[in-house]
């Protein structure tokens, strides 16, 4: 087993809800609630769930783009949840992020060359000549050309812009990349190209990925292990092939039963979940999934199920996971 590169323990992010003239706090939105997991060096950990489940907030907390309410984040033996702002700026050299919409984060008035050079300037890396060389090297690595350095963001297609977003994330030679819905805004044909690029970069540059997506099909394609989130909590975490072959949590089972299977001889029982995802400002008691779960019993609304390892490397947070396996 590889080294643990990132260790997350009891991570929480509560956003206060304020009301009235005095701006009094009347509650919290529990966007991320007691999430723990590890990421091994060189792997891709997928994080999936419906919108509002806390997966993107988790990604931002790991980068400290948002401050955690509680919990510990340890990267390569260093407690990054305790670093000062200036220490954290330095640490971001090793942890970079790729966003869903790179266009929104590419300054339209700057050339691609300038955009790519910026992280090197921020981190004090190299002189002007070395920085230019690195820009051209990265453009080539992501499948663009030298002349693209002089162009501006609006002159590129969606797929090319995501390649620029990837090149920018790689400029500082990071070890961990957090990719937040990196292909969701792209056409399906382009999605495959960008996913293949991410996979070949991972091998070539020995990168570790956290790949956040609402799309189980995409996550399956790229991940070694997958964590499923529901309403701010991790409800299942296991190797990708186990999750797809033998999902233990009813929510995972329901998500998977709506994903088409390439093998026509394989039949998965259809589990329909009804109702909308409840509000994170007023989550259901006990297991947050109990309002939609077809298997719920009394205990489900009373006790929060803990994420626990029930088979080697396979963790689930469900009181009745054994009883509901077919
Ligand atoms: Fe369903 Fe109960 Fe398991 Fe929650 S704990 S997923 S409500 S069976």
Is 111 among the domain residues? Answer: no
Band of the pLDDT at 291, cuts 50, 70, 90?
very high
- For residue 274, what pLDDT is reported? 73
Residue 10 — φ and ψ, nearest 5°? 60, 35
Is 42 among the domain residues? Answer: yes
User: Averaged over 110-134, what is the pLDDT?
Assistant: 96
Residue 3 — φ and ψ, nearest 5°? -65, 150
Domain with 272 in it: what CATH number?
3.40.50.300
Band of the pLDDT at 241, cuts 50, 70, 90?
very high
Ligand 1 pocket: which of 231, 300, 307, 322 to mutate (most atoms within 8 A of CB)? 300
Q: Compute the distance from residue 13 Cα to the ligand 1 centre, in Å.
A: 23
Band of the pLDDT at 279, cuts 50, 70, 90?
confident
For residue 251, which atom of ligand 1 is closest to its CA?
A: 6
Q: pLDDT tens-digit profile of 182-206?
A: 998 888 889 999 999 999 999 999 9
Question: pTM of the predicted model, to two decimals?
Answer: 0.92
Is 124 among the domain residues? Answer: no
Among protein residues, the one with the nearest Cα to ligand 1's atom 8 is 296
Q: Under the phi-then-psi rule, with left for phi > 0, alpha for psi from -120 to 50, and beta for the rest, what region is 313?
A: left
Number of domains the chain is built from: 1
Residue 17 parent element (H or E): strand 4-19
Helices (H), 27-76: 55-62
Which structural domain, as residue segments, surrounds residue 276?
4-94+174-316
Rounded CA separation 70/32 (Å): 10
For residue 250, which atom of ligand 1 is closest to its CA?
A: 6
Among protein residues, the one with the nearest Cα to ligand 1's atom 5 is 318
Ligand 1 pocket: which of 293, 299, 306 to mutate (most atoms within 8 A of CB)? 293
Q: pLDDT tens-digit profile of 155-172?
A: 999 999 999 999 999 999
Rounded CA separation 62/56 (Å): 10
- CA-based nearest residue to 110, from 168, 183, 185: 168
Cα dist from 121 to 126, 135, 151, 287, 321, whole Å: 8, 12, 20, 48, 52
- For residue 219, what pLDDT is reported? 93
Is 164 among the domain residues? Answer: no
Is 117 among the domain residues? Answer: no
266, pLDDT greater than 60: no
Is 323 among the domain residues? Answer: no
For residue 300, which atom of ligand 1 is closest to its CA?
A: 2
For residue 299, which atom of ligand 1 is closest to its CA?
A: 2
Q: Compute the distance from residue 158 Cα to the ligand 1 centre, in Å.
A: 40
- CA-based nearest residue to 107, from 159, 65, 168: 168
Among protein residues, the one with the nearest Cα to ligand 1's atom 7 is 290
- For residue 177, what pLDDT is reported? 98
Band of the pLDDT at 100, cuts 50, 70, 90?
confident
Between residues 150 and 188, which one has the greater pLDDT? 150
Is 113 among the domain residues? Answer: no
Is 162 among the domain residues? Answer: no
Strand order of the sheet with strand 24-40? 24-40, 4-19, 70-75, 78-79
Q: Compute the distance from residue 83 Cα to the ligand 1 centre, in Å.
A: 38
- For residue 189, what pLDDT is reported? 87
Tell me which residues have their CB closer than 6 angstroms to ligand 1.
249-250, 287, 289-290, 293, 295-296, 300, 305, 318-320
19, pLDDT greater than 80: yes
- For residue 37, what pLDDT is reported? 97
User: Averaged over 24-44, what is the pLDDT?
Assistant: 94
Band of the pLDDT at 265, cuts 50, 70, 90?
low
Q: pLDDT tens-digit profile of 211-230?
A: 999 999 899 889 999 999 99
Q: Compute the distance from residue 116 Cα to the ligand 1 centre, in Å.
A: 47
Ligand 1 pocket: which of 228, 287, 288, 310 to mutate (most atoms within 8 A of CB)? 287
């Amino acid at each position: 087993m590889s080294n643990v590169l990132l260790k997350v323990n009891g991570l929480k992010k509560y956003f206060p809800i304020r009301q009235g003239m005095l701006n009094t706090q009347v509650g919290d939105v529990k966007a991320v609630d007691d999430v723990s997991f590890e990421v091994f060096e060189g792997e891709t950990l997928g994080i999936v769930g419906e919108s509002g489940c806390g997966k993107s907030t988790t990604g931002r907390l790991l980068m400290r783009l948002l401050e955690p309410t509680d919990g510990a984040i340890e990267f390569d033996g260093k407690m990054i949840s305790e670093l000062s702002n200036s220490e954290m700026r330095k640490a971001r050299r090793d942890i970079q992020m790729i966003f869903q919409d790179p266009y929104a984060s590419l300054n339209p008035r700057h050339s691609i060359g300038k955009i790519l050079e910026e992280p090197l300037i921020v981190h004090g890396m190299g002189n002007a000549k070395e920085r230019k060389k690195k820009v051209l090297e990265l453009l080539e690595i992501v499948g663009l050309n030298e002349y693209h350095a002089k162009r501006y963001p609006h002159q590129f297609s969606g797929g090319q812009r995501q390649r620029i977003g990837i090149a920018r994330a790689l400029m500082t030679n990071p070890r961990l990349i957090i990719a937040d819905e990196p292909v969701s805004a792209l056409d399906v044909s382009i999605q495959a190209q960008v996913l293949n690029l991410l996979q070949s970069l991972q091998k070539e540059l020995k990168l570790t990925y956290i790949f956040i997506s609402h799309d189980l099909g995409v996550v399956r394609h790229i991940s070694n292990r997958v964590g499923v989130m529901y309403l701010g909590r991790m409800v299942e975490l296991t190797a990708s092939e186990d999750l797809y072959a033998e999902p233990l949590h009813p929510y995972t089972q329901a998500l998977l039963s709506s994903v088409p299977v390439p093998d026509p001889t394989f039949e998965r029982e259809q589990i329909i979940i009804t109702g909308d995802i409840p509000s994170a400002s007023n989550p259901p008691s006990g297991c947050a999934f109990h309002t939609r779960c077809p298997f719920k019993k009394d205990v489900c609304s009373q006790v929060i199920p803990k994420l626990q390892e029930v088979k080697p490397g396979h963790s689930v947070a469900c009181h009745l996971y054994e009883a509901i396996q077919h």
